Amino acid sequence: MSGYAANLADIYQAAARIAPYSHKTPVMTCATLDRLSGKKLYFKCELFQKTGSFKFRGACNAVMQLPEDVARRGVVTHSSGNHAQALALAAKERGIRAYVVMPTTASPVKANAVREYGGEVIECAPTLKARETVAQTVLDETKGTLIPPYDDPRVIAGQGTIALELLESLPELDAIVSPIGGGGLVSGVALAAKEAKPTLKVFGIEPKGADDAARSKSTGRLIPQTSPNTIADGLLTSLGEFTWPVVRDLVAEILTVSDEEIVSAMRLLWERAKLLVEPSGAVSLAGVLSERFRSFDSLRHVAVILSGGNVNLATLPF
Amino acid sequence: MSGYAANLADIYQAAARIAPYSHKTPVMTCATLDRLSGKKLYFKCELFQKTGSFKFRGACNAVMQLPEDVARRGVVTHSSGNHAQALALAAKERGIRAYVVMPTTASPVKANAVREYGGEVIECAPTLKARETVAQTVLDETKGTLIPPYDDPRVIAGQGTIALELLESLPELDAIVSPIGGGGLVSGVALAAKEAKPTLKVFGIEPKGADDAARSKSTGRLIPQTSPNTIADGLLTSLGEFTWPVVRDLVAEILTVSDEEIVSAMRLLWERAKLLVEPSGAVSLAGVLSERFRSFDSLRHVAVILSGGNVNLATLPF
């Protein structure tokens, strides 16, 4: 697959690069959810990935390939979510500094997690402009390297390793279903899967309250997300210059789900499968349980990516 | 090991008998919990067993070895907890009826789970006497077979299959740590482990508010539990005639933990390991994190049995 952020060879290289630091996450099954979906479902449990989400794969792949003299100056990002923790641990494994610009509104739990992994938290005002300005200042001062949360070929290749693991153990898969926010996860997965097994279909599932990917896909042009409103707080971002072409060309369809459907899917995963997913991580199951997805009769063996499990136990939706 | 409820050969037979119906549950690790405990911990995830707890192993082993003419009359138990669901599914797999006597105070969620697995729920007043009387009436009417929740050689042998799975993948284990209520789990594990690897130590962890096993062990005679009071609602029962001799002779030590320690361990498992255990299932980690257990310097590789994940999301302790 050429002309995109990464090809299958890049993704195999990423898998080898991150193998010493990351988990090959387990695949779980649940008879009750098979019955409810009318499919045979394989849950790819990225909640059990290091730092509790798939984000570690991309961050680790980016950090580990920096040249030694560049790496020594550290890495920088702005994020209030799972990418922040992922980058902090990847930097720790490399033995370098991670500077994470976080809004003052970020949960103290998340800031503490970054610090526990050895990252340095730099607070800023809770606006995108402030985040970018402060991050630029840190970059200027440290001469470090920016590692973006999703719109980056190294990050996308890292996330694609999920598809390699799935196809290795489940060659019979008909489809892979992934949450979609900025598109780093679904892009990596689609780039790996469509080159390794062209007949396989990749679906992105998006909250109705942050449906830029669905609107972009249906109009054929990149429409940025404005004023997102959903419980799936990991999926608020817009597609980017590297992820959009992959979503446009290689993702079969984007399905949207309501917050009620997301909470219901999350509750099913907790109660029936004992899988402690966060709302953004349950979005893929919500899509699989939708009428639209159930209508795809030819799709029998379906991998469902549960992208993360970093839940705030103080504010559960049920 | 002779003179006890089961020996290693019985437990190997149980493993073969239940294999077509049960999961070999995964073993998970967590760097944070290794650091907090000062040990290398291996979490045996019985929350991912069929019906959400280890109880399915024992119930399945008992049901599958009934002679055909006996099985046809069905199986009976009284339980408001995980054994009820386990027996209902085991009976369904065998194609026979399960009659479960449950107190009217049992949670509707649990009664519904039994019905979903095809079991018949018979309500009774919430006293042990009423449960026993109603169960006897059902036994008289159906001529079915009573399958007790723990004090039964077939059930104990089924629970022991956990130790076989652990030692198969982790021959280096120094210790196995298990919650203890009626003692079915810890007895089966001790019978398998002490015969397969005599140097391995088996520990039982008990809530301070239901410490009959600790008191029995320290006095050398079976002391029944009266008025238990703990959040670990799976561990309220007394040791029995089959489990007590094993606890007395083969379990290295019983450690007790407070409800605060149990809730704290449960929270750590949820937040750091993303493992959705119920309070009774977190008791074993609470024991491993105690000062007493940390003082056992020679125990490096420690398996921690997380016995179940059937949590009532409406009444979380945090």
Tokens representing residue B32 in the block: 């944070």
Span B80-97, average pLDDT: 96
Q: Which residues 288-317 in chain A show a CB within 8 A of chain B?
A: 309, 311, 313, 316
Distance from CA of A300 to the nearest CA of B (A): 22
- Is residue B119 over pLDDT 80? yes
Q: What is the pTM of this model?
A: 0.95
Q: What are phi and psi of A19, to 5 degrees?
A: -55, -40
- Which residue among A26, A267, A313 sits closest to B318, beta carbon to beta carbon? A313
Give the span between the Cα atoms of A289 and A39, in whole angstroms: 10
Decide if B271 touches A, using CB distance below 8 A: yes
Paired strand residues for B253:
B203
- Is residue B48 over pLDDT 80? yes
Q: Which residues, 6+ apart, have CB-to-CB distance to B258 below 8 Å? A: B207, B208
Decide if B115 touches A, using CB distance below 8 A: no
Cα separations in angstroms, A85 against A77, A88, A100: 11, 5, 9
Per residue in B223-249, pLDDT (tens digit) is 999 999 999 999 999 999 999 999 999
Tokens representing residue A57 in the block: 């794969």
Given this model, what pLDDT does residue A276 score?
97
Does the distance separating the beta carbons of B48 and A313 come in below 8 Å? no
Given this model, what pLDDT does residue B49 score?
97
Q: Which domains does chain B have, with CATH numbers?
A: 8-53+153-311 (3.40.50.1100), 56-146 (3.40.50.1100)
Given this model, what pLDDT does residue B275 score?
98
Contact between A299 and A37 (Cβ < 8 Å):
no
- Which residue among A26, A271, A313 sits closest to B270, beta carbon to beta carbon? A313
Distance from CA of B273 to the nearest CA of A (A): 7
Given this model, what pLDDT does residue B128 score?
80
Residue recorded with tokens 């209520």: B181
Q: CA-nearest residue of chain A to B268?
A: A313
Chain A residue numbers with beta carbons less than 8 Å from the beta carbon of B275 are 274, 276
Give the span between the Cα atoms of B129 and B103, in whole angstroms: 11
Per residue in A182-214, pLDDT (tens digit) is 999 999 999 999 999 999 999 999 999 999 999
Given this model, what pLDDT does residue A253 score?
98
Does the distance separating the beta carbons of A274 and B309 come in below 8 Å? yes
Residues composing chain B: 318
Q: CA-nearest residue of chain B to A310?
A: B271
Does the distance separating the beta carbons of A316 and B316 come in below 8 Å? yes
Per residue in B270-284, pLDDT (tens digit) is 999 999 999 999 999
- Which residue among B26, B270, B311 sits closest to A26, beta carbon to beta carbon? B26
pLDDT averaged over every residue in chain B: 96
Does the distance separating the beta carbons of B271 and A313 come in below 8 Å? yes
Q: CA-nearest residue of chain A to B28?
A: A48
| A/B interface, count of CB pairs below 8 Å | 35
Given this model, what pLDDT does residue A107 score?
80
Per residue in A164-178, pLDDT (tens digit) is 999 999 999 999 999
Decide if A275 touches B, using CB distance below 8 A: yes
Given this model, what pLDDT does residue B77 score?
96
pLDDT averaged per 10 residues, chain A (length 318): 94 98 97 96 98 98 98 94 96 98 86 93 91 95 97 98 98 98 97 98 98 97 94 93 98 98 98 96 98 97 97 88
pLDDT band at B107 (very low <50, low <70, confident <90, very high): confident
